[in-house]
Structure formats: C-alpha cells, structure tokens
Chains A and B, each alone.
Chain A
Amino acid sequence: MEGSELTERRISREGLLKLVAAGGGAALIGGPSAVAEAARKQLEQESGRLQVLDWVGYEVKQLYAPYLKKYPGQKPKFTFMTNEADALAKLSAGLKPDVVRPYVGYVPDFADSGFFQPWDPKLIPNLKQLNPSMVKAGQYKGKQWGIPQDWGFDAILYRTDKVKPKAKSWGLLFDDRYKGKIAWFDDLNALVWAGYYLGFKKPYDQSDAELKRSQNLLKSKKKNVRMFWSSETDMQSAFASGDLWIAYAWPADWVAMKAKKLKVAYMYPKEGAISWIGMLMLGKNSPRRQHAHAFANAWSSVQTGTWLENNYGYGHSNAHARPTSKDLISALKLNTPSAITEPHAHIDRDIPRRALYARMWEEVKAS
C-alpha cells in the first residue's frame, strides 16, 4: 500500500530539485547505484501521510487546500487534542506528529519540552504575509518555533432573548439568576478569568491569597453551572437545544449558534476578553519535514485565512485575508488584529505556576 502510494505520488518541483541535489551529492561519491539509493532514501524519508495533532474542526480540507493541491491525494492524518496538556500527554505516550498546534502561551514550554524543532522560515514563503507582531510572538530564543495562524477570543456567548446581563462582565458566568443555564470551559484558565473579574493585576501570576480568592469564587458559583465543557461539540449541542443560555465560548460558537437561528451575542467583558493565537509547531525529527513546511505554508495562505474567517469566525494572521460578512467583522473584530492585545484583551500567556493552577482547578471541580 505504502509502495503504491509512493509510485503514484506526483513529485513537486521543489521535491524534485531536492532529490536531484541529494542524488548529485551521492553520485560524486558512489556512482549511479548510490544516486538511485540516495533518491530512494530521500523519497522514503518523506513517505507516508503527514501526521497532524490538531483541534477538532481543523481537519477540514478547505483549511489546507493549497497543500492538497501540491500533494494531491495526500490528506494529512489527524489526531485530535483537547488542550495543550492533552497534546503533551499524547506526545509522551509515543505519538510522533509532524505538526502540532498549541496556543501562544505554550510556545516556550513546548519548545523546551524536547518534542519540537524550529521551522525553517525560508520554506514558508507565505510567512512574509503574516502579521509581524504575531510572527514575533512565535519566536523563542531567536528561532521561529511557532507559525501563527488562527486568532480569536475566549469570551461569553449568551442568548439575547433569555438573558439580560447586568453589565458586560465575566460576572455573567456567575449570575445566580441563570442557575443551571451556564457553561464554563473545563480548563485551569478559569482561575485566570476569575482573577480578571476580581480585579487582580496579574491573574496569570496570582499570589497564594489571590489564587485562594479566585478558587473560592469559582467554588461558590459552581452551583450555577450546568456543564464544564471540554468538547466544543457537546457545548454547542447543549446550547442549541436550550440546555444552556450562557457559555464561556469561542467566536466559532457564536457563528455556529447564529447559523442555527438562535438570538445570540458574543460579549467582550469590560475586564478584558482573553485572546489567543494558534501556533503551528514542527515535531522534532519529523520524517516529513518538507511536507510539514508545505502544510504550514498552506495554512498561512490568504485562501485558508479567508475561509477560516468566513466559516469559523476566527481571525487569521495573514494580513491579506478578509472575511466577506460585515456581521462577522463587527461582532468578532476580525479586521482589527490589535483587538487581541492589551488594553483591549489579555493575550494568552505563560502561567508560571501552571501546575498549582491546575491542581486548584481540579479541586474546584471535585468540591
């Protein structure tokens, strides 16, 4: 099967040149048979389908159509992650993806984890079109570890026909009036947005006393929560069926609920929404390095960016990508990448005491 895939594959010009170069080097040393051997090895090195560890929803082919055009019939093989810790657990368990997508706050940690290597920017021509500040956010110790792609917010989705917020605030996720209709995202970040609600200066790096206050607030308001969601599909289905009226959500959820004709709004809390940038990272010792770079290049294209914006309501790092819907632009601030930075929003960042946050969040759930 692998062999037939190999012979049927169309070799791109870039790949061909590489083969020729590799073969040429070998020819100088070992003659024609070595040429054939080197060519075969090179081809084998890049054999098999690209392995991508990504979030559910990002497997649709429209998001990497230029890659499929370059490598027809070679749809990447996707494995799904529910969050960065889950991805890391999968990597530790032996999964060897070529490409993984953590969010910006995790780039340094992932780079230090030993599972990744920096990208070669020369192999990603579309990198020049990406928002420079986002590209910079993907750099660590002078190397390009992350290629910025999707960006957006963590904020509040609510039913306008059922919910009358007292203020544009994270407090809506605690509102006693809507007991049993609220969903929180199952993530240690809950302590962070609780910290913003409580007015702490550094919710990402709270003192012990502050953390305790955030935790106590979450524990005391847990009674109002109907669901801690980790699967976006579950949350959307509960929201669509009326089980939920208020949810900690992403822009794509607003788009999905609008498509279901629900009266919904996406609220940016006055304390600041949390924003994020998805970063493609390259697996260490990836046997499909060329393919991985082509995949990142495809994701960085205007075509992908526009499709992502139009269909998922997420922003894209490609400065030339523009959504067609005015609704989307105004509701999700898609034309203003600066909306994800201070003082408009708090960009997802490294949490120095992440393990402690995680334990405290687990205690909230267990309480």
Chain B
Amino acid sequence: MRSRLATPGLLGLPLVWLLVFFIVPIGIVGAYSVDALHGPEIFAQAHTVSVDAWTHFFHSSVYLGLFWKSVKMSLIVSLVVVALAYPVAYYLALSGTKRKYVLLLILIAPFLTSYLLRVLAWKVILGNNGVLNSFLAWTGIRSADHPLSQLLYSRFAVMLVLAYVWIPFVALPVFVSLETLDRRLLEAAADLGASRLQAFLRVTLPLSLPGVAAAFLFVFIPTVGEFVTPSLVGGPSGYMYGNQISDLFSTGFPDWETGSVLALFLLGVVTVLTAAFSRFMRIGEVASS
C-alpha cells in the first residue's frame, strides 16, 4: 500500500512542475500561434482564431531558409566540437593520468565566468583592432589598413564562439561514456591481435557512441535556437533562427503570432530529432552505464 502511494507521490511534484512550467506555457504559445491569444499591439485589431501564421510560415522561403541556415551552422558547430572534444575526453578517461579530475576541472573552468563575458571577450580578439588582427599586422602577414574583417560580425565568428562555449559540454558526456568503458574489452582485443587503432575503431568508438550522440545533442539542440551569441558577434550574415524568434517577440514590432509559430516549429523539430537519436543511438545506455 505504502509503495503504491509512494510512486505517484514522488512523481507528483515533478509532473506538476512539468505541467505548470512546460506543458501549459507551450499551450499558451500554441494559442498565440493561432491568434486565440494575442500579444501587445499598438493598433487594436480584431482577432479570429486562424492558422494564417502557420500557412504563411510554410509558404515562406525566408523562414524555412533561415531555419535551414541555422541547422547547417549548428550541425557544423556540433560536429567540429565533438571531433575536438573527443580526443580530450579520450585522454582524460583512458590515459590513466592521476590528474584527470584536475584537468577536467580546468576544462570546465571557463564556466565559472559569465556566458556574456566569454562571448564579449571574443570581440576583443576578433575585431579589426583586436588581438588577432594586431598580431597579423605586427608580423607583417597582413597590413594594418587591411585587417581580416571577416573574423567578427560574420557566420564564422558565430560558429567559432559557439564551438568555444560548448566544448566542455561535449567533453563531459564523452568522458563519462569512456571512463565507464570496461577496460578488459581492450585487453581482450589486444590479446586477439588487434592493433591499437583496430581496438579503438572496433571497441572503444562503438561503445562510446551513445556518449558521443548525447554530446552531439547537447550542443545541437541549444545552438540551433541560439540568439545571444549571433546578436553579439554575428552581424547580418550570422543572424540565426533564434534571433528571428526573439525579434518577432520584442524588437521592431511585436508579432507574437508568427514568433510562436517559429518557436513551436523549432520545438517540434528538436523533439523529433531527439526521439530519433534516442532510439537509434540508445542514449539510455549512457545513463545506465
């Protein structure tokens, strides 16, 4: 009897939390998207429930184009970051170094500073008079009058900063999956004549894939809807889907109807993607491992 009551009791609070702070807000955003609710407006307008904003969205090459651009940017960032973080996590987990937790702490040390500061610091590095361009001018590689202006306020700048910001996030799940790897499997592989590369490709890598997939999603999901970094270092070419959502809700002229459609579409895509990844990459194994 007690155990039968304990489960709903334990689950109750998180469920209420989810309902109040996740499901209900999504419902409200959904109501905005069909004009059943409406945001602030300077001109009083008549409101009728309609799916016009949805229709406009799916017929607009602009919004879908921007979404695709953001997906591509996030994909590149996620892949590059995973590729960069993997060797770091591999070294920390499998090299047998005694200082691995100290090194891990150093890796995540940037998180002790403000996100905004970390992004803004890149402006000092990438600007026309920034560290990088000054160095290029000092070495004579580039004239001071013709600095590399593509470094800042560009798509490149957004991807670079996002990669920098997210590397520790990626390294952690990969590290966890590698550290829990059963070392006897590697010994067995060696006993059976596998080279170190073969052991890595056939044992380590496949077994760490759930961690890699989780890491990939850890980066991809937030970056595809990112708007702070692009608004600080992106310029027009680094403008992303998240910026458009933010702008539709706040700057320019509020259009909560369209903004809600964009936000829900993003949520839908991310949900589908997460479900697909969870199914094929068995992310649950990371937790169990």
Q: Which residues of chain A have a CB within 8 Å of any CB of chain B?
A: 82-86, 88-89, 91-92, 106, 109-110, 112-113, 180-181, 186-188, 222, 225-228, 230, 238, 241-243, 354-355, 357-359, 361-363, 365-367
Specify which chain A residues have a CB less than 8 angstroms from the CB of B254 in the assembled complex. Answer: 85, 88-89
Question: Which of B144-178 touch A at CB < 8 Å?
Answer: 147, 149-150, 152-153
A91 and B65 CA atoms in complex are apart in Å by: 33
Question: Which of B205-263 touch A at CB < 8 Å?
Answer: 235-236, 239, 243-244, 247-255, 258
A196 to chain B, nearest CB (A): 19
A110 contact from B42, B65, B239, Cβ within 8 A: B42
Specify which chain B residues have a CB less than 8 angstroms from the CB of A84 in the assembled complex. Answer: 42
Question: Which of B102-132 touch A at CB < 8 Å?
Answer: 127-130
A361 and B39 CA atoms in complex are apart in Å by: 19
Q: Does A355 contact B65, Cβ atoms closer than 8 Å?
A: no
Specify which chain A residues have a CB less than 8 angstroms from the CB of B130 in the assembled complex. Answer: 241
A365 contact from B44, B236, B250, B258, Cβ within 8 A: B236
Q: Does A362 contact B247, Cβ atoms closer than 8 Å?
A: yes
Specify which chain A residues have a CB less than 8 angstroms from the CB of B66 in the assembled complex. Answer: 366-367
Q: Does B244 contact A366, Cβ atoms closer than 8 Å?
A: yes
Q: Does B62 contact A89, Cβ atoms closer than 8 Å?
A: no
CB nearest neighbor in B for A108: B42
CB nearest neighbor in A for B124: A241
Let me know if B12 is at the binding interface, CB within 8 A: no
B21 to chain A, nearest CB (A): 17
Specify which chain B residues have a CB less than 8 angstroms from the CB of A363 in the assembled complex. Answer: 60, 62
22 interchain pairs, CB-CB under 8 A: A88-B254, A89-B39, A89-B249, A89-B254, A92-B39, A180-B149, A180-B150, A186-B247, A186-B252, A188-B253, A226-B153, A226-B236, A227-B153, A242-B147, A354-B43, A354-B253, A358-B252, A362-B248, A362-B252, A365-B239, A365-B243, A366-B63
Q: Does B128 contact A243, Cβ atoms closer than 8 Å?
A: yes
Interface size class of B (residues with CB under 8 A): 35 or more
A266 and B254 CA atoms in complex are apart in Å by: 31
Specify which chain B residues have a CB less than 8 angstroms from the CB of A226 in the assembled complex. Answer: 149, 153, 235-236
Shortest 3 CB-CB contacts between residues of A and residues of B: A358-B253, A92-B40, A109-B42
Specify which chain A residues have a CB less than 8 angstroms from the CB of B243 in the assembled complex. Answer: 365
Q: Does B251 contact A366, Cβ atoms closer than 8 Å?
A: no
Specify which chain B residues have a CB less than 8 angstroms from the CB of A181 in the assembled complex. Answer: 149
A355 and B255 CA atoms in complex are apart in Å by: 8
A167 and B115 CA atoms in complex are apart in Å by: 44
Q: Does B252 contact A187, Cβ atoms closer than 8 Å?
A: yes
A85 contact from B149, B239, B244, B252, Cβ within 8 A: B252
Q: Does A362 contact B244, Cβ atoms closer than 8 Å?
A: yes
CB nearest neighbor in B for A180: B149
CB nearest neighbor in A for B150: A180
A218 to chain B, nearest CB (A): 11
A350 to chain B, nearest CB (A): 10
B94 to chain A, nearest CB (A): 44
Specify which chain B residues have a CB less than 8 angstroms from the CB of A365 in the assembled complex. Answer: 236, 239, 243-244, 247
A109 and B254 CA atoms in complex are apart in Å by: 14
B236 contact from A109, A225, A230, Cβ within 8 A: A225
Q: Does B251 contact A83, Cβ atoms closer than 8 Å?
A: yes
Q: Which of A222, A357, A358: most chain B CB closer than 10 A? A: A358
A84 and B253 CA atoms in complex are apart in Å by: 8
Q: Which of B41, B60, B147, B251: most chain A CB closer than 10 A? A: B251
Given contacts A86-B250, A365-B239, A242 and B65 within 8 Å (CB-CB): no
CB nearest neighbor in A for B149: A180
A222 and B239 CA atoms in complex are apart in Å by: 12
Given contacts A228-B236, A358-B253, A243 and B152 within 8 Å (CB-CB): yes
Q: Does B42 contact A359, Cβ atoms closer than 8 Å?
A: no
Specify which chain A residues have a CB less than 8 angstroms from the CB of B150 in the assembled complex. Answer: 180
A222 and B66 CA atoms in complex are apart in Å by: 15
A85 and B63 CA atoms in complex are apart in Å by: 22
A227 contact from B39, B235, B249, B251, Cβ within 8 A: B235
A83 contact from B44, B129, B252, Cβ within 8 A: B252
Q: Does A359 contact B255, Cβ atoms closer than 8 Å?
A: yes
CB nearest neighbor in B for A113: B42
B70 to chain A, nearest CB (A): 10
Specify which chain B residues have a CB less than 8 angstroms from the CB of A238 in the assembled complex. Answer: 127, 153
Q: Which of B130, B150, B239, B249: most chain A CB closer than 10 A? A: B239
A358 contact from B60, B249, B255, Cβ within 8 A: B255
